[in-house]
Chain A
Amino acid sequence: MADAEPQKLPLDAVWRARTSKFADFAGYDMPIQFEGLIAEHNWTREHAGLFDVSHMGPCFFALPKGHGLEGDVAHKKVASLIERLVPADIQGLKPGQVRYTMLLNADGGILDDLMIARPAEPAAAGDLYIVVNAGCKIEDWKLIEATTKGEANLVRADDRCLLALQGPTAAQAASAVIAPELNDMNFMTVRRIETQRFGRLTITRSGYTGEDGYEILVRAEHAKDLAEALLAHAEVKPVGLGARDSLRLEAGLCLYGHDLDPSTSPIEADLAWTIQKRRREAGDFPGAKRILREYELGVSRKRVGIRPNDRAPAREGVEIQKDGKNIGVVTSGGFSPILNGPISMGYVDAAHSEPGHVVELMVRGQARSATIVPLPFVPHRYVRPKKAN
């Protein structure tokens, strides 16, 4: 992918007017930085950052037209199809509910991590809204189609724009600019709304920064208006992929291809919480044998948070040792603006995975002391508004 000319985002001109710092990411020419990585990071933690994540893979997965099913029956049918590939309880989603899960290979390794939403509207029964990662989308979609051929249709929506608005004042800005009802959504829910200015929007209250916020799917012809309207709000500033990475790392969230890969199981990745009881009991997902064994008996290596005990960042690929012996590797690392120091995530032998264990990080050939810590590094602040009744 690195050889081909990167694809321009539909909102390229909106971002070029605000920064010249772009880089190729997953085949897209993405804005990396605006005001400065740390300033953008802190703005998102204190106000609201607007991210263009149109490189990602939104799609609609639906029973064929004229399926004749309604409500829960239609939902359970389409959910059972996608459950062939993911270990989450998708059939159990309530209307409007969103779940984080992963596509698995036959060995229980992670092919991608993704969000699956059940639309709230009765007319959309039998549809799922799915968002996969940019770097995996073509392969993911091929796999989903091959696994459910003739039983459901997958419609790509990556010709639209996907904007993420993240931060403690995201709700204030989104409800002022788009529609007041956005304020009433719970975290990890989806809503489709018709707007005069921006057309039909599919909005999830979700994100990947540890903050409250929304991910908004908007048709390309309305995307510029929406982005400019959000950016005109006093609480909103544009944020690049650089700060997106430091925000998700502080929030202890995995980046596919770095913290997750086809050799890694959800249990090793400390994502057992994403496999609901019904699926664990049924054991009817790819790699269930390995995953359930690991769930019961434990794993030999585990994803952990790591705090270097000095100021040197330990980035992806840094070897983790204990008393001179290799015990693991860093899979993501960088600088935490909130903690004002370096943070890393990585995999270590289970014997050394308890918080408080002191290990050594081999940074440029030199052993540096570090401590295993619980994740996330910075507490999540997902908003679950009280019901106004």
Chain B
Amino acid sequence: MSKRYTKDHEWVELNGDVAIIGISAYATEQLGDVVYVELPAKDKEFAAHADMAVVESAKAASDVYAPISGKVVEVNDTLSGQPDLVNGSPEGDGWFVKIKVVNKAEVDALMDEAAYADYVKGL
């Protein structure tokens, strides 16, 4: 299925009731070289918009918010040794977490790819 995006540049890809979450190519372009990613623990629960992760670029630290509510079922451990995967493959292998979705309507409410592309153009 295709991705949905938030105004804060997180992306969500829903597969059944599990969503993969990461940050967009636009976000990584703005951040520059990612040198550290602080991910939540497995089983941690988040409400939409809560602080979920921190991404540190060579420049600065930035918060990553939970785009939707849910419980973490898997984190991308590869990022601890290879944080630059976020730059190399932001919307693929550089994903952050997988969460079990509580309310699929939260996903539908996010921007689709075309809407996000328009949004980014306006920034």
A335 to B58, CA, bound (A): 6
* B59 proximal to A (CB < 8 A): yes
Find the residue from B57, B58, B80 having the highest chain A CB count within 10 A: B58
Are A334's CB and B58's CB within 8 A? Answer: yes
Chain B, interface residues (CB within 8 Å), range: 10 to 19
Are B32's CB and A313's CB within 8 A? Answer: no
Chain A, interface residues (CB within 8 Å), range: 10 to 19
Are A313's CB and B61's CB within 8 A? Answer: yes
* B22 proximal to A (CB < 8 A): no
Are A36's CB and B33's CB within 8 A? Answer: yes
Contacts between the two chains (Cβ within 8 Å), count = 42
Given the interface contacts A37-B32, A37-B33, does A311 sit within 8 Å of B58 by beta carbon?
Answer: no
What per-residue 1/0 map shows which CB atoms of A22-53 lie under 8 Å from chain B?
00000000001100111001000000000000
Find the residue from B33, B57, B80 having the highest chain A CB count within 10 A: B33
Are B36's CB and A312's CB within 8 A? Answer: yes
B residues in contact with A312, CB < 8 Å: 36, 38, 56
* B75 proximal to A (CB < 8 A): no
Given the interface contacts A37-B59, A242-B59, does A313 sit within 8 Å of B54 by beta carbon?
Answer: no
Are B38's CB and A364's CB within 8 A? Answer: yes
Q: Please give the distance in Å from A64's CB to the nearest CB on chain B.
A: 47
B residues in contact with A313, CB < 8 Å: 35-36, 56, 61
A186 to B80, CA, bound (A): 44
Q: Name 19 A/B residue pairs within 8 A (Cβ), A-sorted.
A: A32-B59, A33-B32, A36-B32, A37-B58, A38-B58, A41-B58, A242-B32, A246-B58, A311-B36, A312-B36, A312-B56, A313-B35, A313-B36, A315-B61, A334-B58, A335-B35, A335-B56, A335-B58, A342-B36
**The 3 nearest A-B residue pairs measured at CB:** A335-B35, A37-B58, A38-B33
Residues of A bordering B, CB below 8 Å: 32-33, 36-38, 41, 242, 246, 311-313, 315, 334-335, 337, 342, 364
